[in-house]
């Protein structure tokens, strides 16, 4: 969804004022009551700043839409100080807004460091993201999840909610035991310290090793006459891993000690990756602590009639009235399923954070049905906050070479990708020759900023629900809709501000007539608070990303066509420097919500 979708692009005060006067016009001109007024951005080929859509009015006013639009336009010019002119194209009334309106907006926001940030409204939201398994390092697929969740958390906070960032770490199960068994069998006691290998990568190597040996065993059994299905079940390594899981569940001291040791290696490795990505959490939940949650809630739901028990003793929830099916919530032997655990974990989170009134789950779109069921069950259980649960569903990330597979070791490791992005940014920057006067340390820091900015922007500019084909080199292009292009524009603005300071440019004063390019920038700046609000509502960082790109394109057009430091009058020079500063601040704010840094020099 692009940021220019049916979106009101002006301060609500202007829209509200115009709405009131358009309704007055319809009442006075036609004696009819208009329930609402539809606005949209004026198309670039027509003169105007905001457009009133006439067609919906035909439900209450009969007549020619051009004639109706003309009469409303004449009324607005006569009665609304901000409207100076109009034109009508078919059923669209394009209004020209007075320059003084934009100057007043600029004066009111130029020194407002909280522009676009809504004060907290008392509600709290919990955002879950990342939630990895502890049998492998974070990879490119995790990165999209992490960047989306972290950005949505920051945007939600900017839109007025208190936010708790959390994850549930999947630290138990057969996949964990596979890594443990492979290390115990083939590891010879090696550790991250003894090998110099990051802990999560070391454990991930043994997950791959297990799969390799398991496949050999399966092939041997098939050669001995077993069917493929029999061989997969009877492979000795799988049977041994299953026994290890049973021992873990029984609290076997040796197994639990190894489990704690190897998980800690992974946690330490994750922490490094999170730090490199600029991501943090307010709380952590571990599946080893939560996998038994939910059983008490199932019993309560049975008593209240939310669930029912079948003849074999299994417990179900009937969702057929909602167009879904019957959902198992407790097996016949009394053991939990994932749904049971998720029910219990959601309830526990609200107990831990009583001010939470909603939750956002950042999970891939293959789990869409699961979350529909989870949210419905929690509503049936009577939890008021359940109406404010949201599944931030996103598409997978593909590579030109195809789909990634952890078991086969064909994933793109997150740490390797971060390093590769910095190296690519460095190579392009050196080629462009823009780093004169930088020390090696400054270059290294800048490459990381550009590389990470390229990676984050490339992923976040895409609507979450769409799949992404990730191309690292394309993402680091210094032209087009990329992170480096926007970062470079911000650095250009900072260069202008430094030169202005050297020249002693005074504080901005109002100018009487705005250049077309100045007005275009001010209109875009006005949109920023509404974009933040809409991005929070839609849970879509792409709206922030693409708005920032539009703002940068408009600034570059302004920079190329309008003299800033070389203008004829001191008033114009001061205003244009201040306008450039405000654009830079909004770029910084927008990228900050995406978790992207902007460099002072490039």
Q: What pLDDT, in 10s, does the model give residues 275-321?
A: 999 999 999 999 999 998 999 999 999 999 999 999 999 999 999 99
Residue 401 confidence (pLDDT): 63
Q: Which residues contact 243 (CB under 8 A, 6 or more apart)?
A: none
In sequence order, the β-bridge partners of residue 92 are 53, 89
Residue 434 confidence (pLDDT): 67
Q: Taking a C-beta distance cutoff of 8 angstroms, is the pair 327, 144 a contact?
A: no
- Long-range Cβ pairs for the range 248-252 (8 Å, 24+): 248/172, 248/177
**Where along the chain do its domains lie?**
12-97, 173-263, 420-593
43-47, 165-169, 371-375: the lowest-pLDDT one: 43-47
CATH number of the structural domain 420-593: 1.10.730.10
| Entry pTM | 0.89
Secondary-structure breakdown of the chain: helix, strand, coil percentages, each rounded to the nearest 5: 55, 10, 30
Write out the two tokens for 264: 């800690």
Model confidence pLDDT, tens digit, residues 56-95: 999 999 999 999 999 999 999 999 999 999 999 999 999 9
Residue 413 confidence (pLDDT): 86
Strand, helix or coil for residue 235: coil
In sequence order, the β-bridge partners of residue 399 are 402
How would CATH label the architecture of 12-97? 2-Layer Sandwich (3.30)
Model confidence pLDDT, tens digit, residues 221-234: 999 999 999 999 99
In the predicted model, is pLDDT for residue 3 greater than 50? Answer: no
In the predicted model, is pLDDT for residue 435 greater than 80? Answer: no
If 0-12 CB within 10 Å is exposed, 13-18 middle and 19+ buried, where does residue 422 land? buried
The number of beta carbons lying within 10 Å of the beta carbon of residue 391 is: 20
In the predicted model, is pLDDT for residue 544 greater than 90? Answer: yes
- In order of 102, 239, 375, the CA distances from 358 in angstroms are 37, 42, 11
Strand segments, DSSP code E, in 144-233 are: 162-169
**Tokens 């003169």 found at:** 47
pLDDT bin (cut points 50, 70, 90) of residue 427 is: confident
pLDDT bin (cut points 50, 70, 90) of residue 10 is: very low
Residue 6 confidence (pLDDT): 29
Residue 38 confidence (pLDDT): 95
**Tokens 């107990």 found at:** 351
Q: Taking a C-beta distance cutoff of 8 angstroms, is the pair 19, 95 a contact?
A: no
Residue 4 confidence (pLDDT): 38
**Secondary element (H or E) of residue 221:** helix 199-223
Taking CA 163 as the corner, what is the angle to CA 121 and CA 377, rounded to the nearest 5 degrees? 100
Residue 602 confidence (pLDDT): 84
In the predicted model, is pLDDT for residue 407 greater than 70? Answer: no
Higher pLDDT, residue 470 or 198: 198
């Amino acid at each position: 969804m692009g940021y220019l979708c049916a979106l009101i692009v002006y301060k609500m005060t202007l829209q509200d004022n115009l709405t009131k006067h358009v309704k007055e016009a319809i009442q006075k001109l036609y004696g009819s009551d208009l329930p609402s007024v539809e606005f949209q951005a004026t198309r670039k080929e027509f003169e105007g700043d905001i457009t009133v859509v006439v067609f919906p009015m035909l439900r209450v006013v009969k007549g020619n839409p051009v004639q109706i639009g003309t009469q409303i336009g004449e009324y607005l010019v006569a009665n609304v100080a901000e409207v100076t002119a109009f034109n009508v194209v078919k059923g669209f009334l394009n209004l020209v807004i007075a320059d003084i309106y934009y100057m007043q907006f600029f004066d009111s926001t130029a020194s407002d460091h909280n522009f676009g940030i809504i004060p907290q409204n008392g509600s709290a939201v919990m955002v879950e993201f990342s939630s990895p398994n502890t049998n492998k390092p974070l990879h490119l697929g995790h990165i999209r999840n992490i960047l989306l969740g972290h950005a949505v958390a920051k945007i939600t906070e900017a839109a007025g909610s208190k936010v708790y960032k959390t994850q549930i770490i999947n630290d138990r199960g057969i996949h964990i035991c596979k890594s443990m068994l492979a290390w115990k069998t083939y590891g010879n006691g090696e550790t991250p310290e003894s090998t110099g290998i990051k802990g999560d990568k070391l454990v991930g190597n043994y997950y791959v090793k297990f799969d390799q040996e398991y496949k050999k065993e399966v092939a041997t059994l098939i050669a001995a006459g077993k069917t493929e299905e029999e061989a997969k079940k009877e492979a000795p390594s799988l049977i041994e891993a299953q026994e290890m899981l049973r021992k873990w569940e029984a609290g076997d001291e040796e197994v639990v000690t190894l489990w704690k040791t190897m998980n800690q290696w992974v946690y330490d490795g994750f922490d490094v990756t999170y730090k490199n990505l600029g991501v943090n959490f307010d709380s952590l939940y571990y599946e080893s602590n939560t996998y038994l949650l939910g059983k008490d809630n199932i019993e309560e739901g049975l008593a209240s009639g939310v669930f029912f028990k079948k003849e074999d003793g299994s417990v179900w929830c009937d969702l057929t009235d909602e167009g879904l099916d019957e959902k198992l919530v407790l097996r016949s032997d009394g053991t939990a399923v994932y749904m049971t655990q998720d029910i219990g974990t959601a309830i526990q989170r609200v107990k831990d954070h009583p001010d939470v009134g909603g939750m956002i789950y950042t999970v891939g779109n293959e789990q869409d049905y699961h979350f529909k069921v989870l949210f419905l069950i929690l509503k049936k259980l009577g939890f008021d906050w359940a109406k404010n649960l949201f599944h931030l569903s996103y598409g997978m990330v593909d590579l030109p070479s195809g789909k990634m597979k952890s078991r086969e070791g064909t994933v793109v490791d997150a740490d390797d990708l971060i390093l590769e992005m910095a190296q690519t940014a460095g190579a392009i920057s050196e080629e462009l020759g823009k780093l004169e006067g930088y020390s090696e340390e400054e270059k290294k820091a800048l490459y990381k900023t550009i590389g990470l900015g390229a990676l984050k922007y490339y992923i976040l500019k895409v609507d979450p629900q769409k799949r992404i084909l990730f191309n690292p080199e394309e993402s680091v292009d210094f032209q087009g809709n990329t992170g480096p292009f926007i970062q470079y524009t911000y650095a250009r603005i900072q260069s202008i501000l430094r030169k202005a300071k050297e020249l002693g440019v005074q504080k901005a004063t109002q100018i009487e007539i705005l250049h077309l390019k100045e007005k275009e920038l001010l209109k875009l700046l006005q949109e920023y608070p509404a974009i933040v609000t809409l991005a929070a509502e839609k849970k879509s960082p792409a709206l922030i990303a693409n708005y920032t790109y539009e703002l940068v394109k408009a600034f570059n057009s302004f920079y190329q066509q309008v003299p800033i430091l070389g203008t004829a009058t001191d008033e114009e020079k001061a205003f244009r420097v201040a306008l450039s500063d405000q654009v830079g601040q909004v770029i910084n704010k927008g990228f900050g919500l995406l978790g992207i840094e902007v460099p002072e020099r490039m």
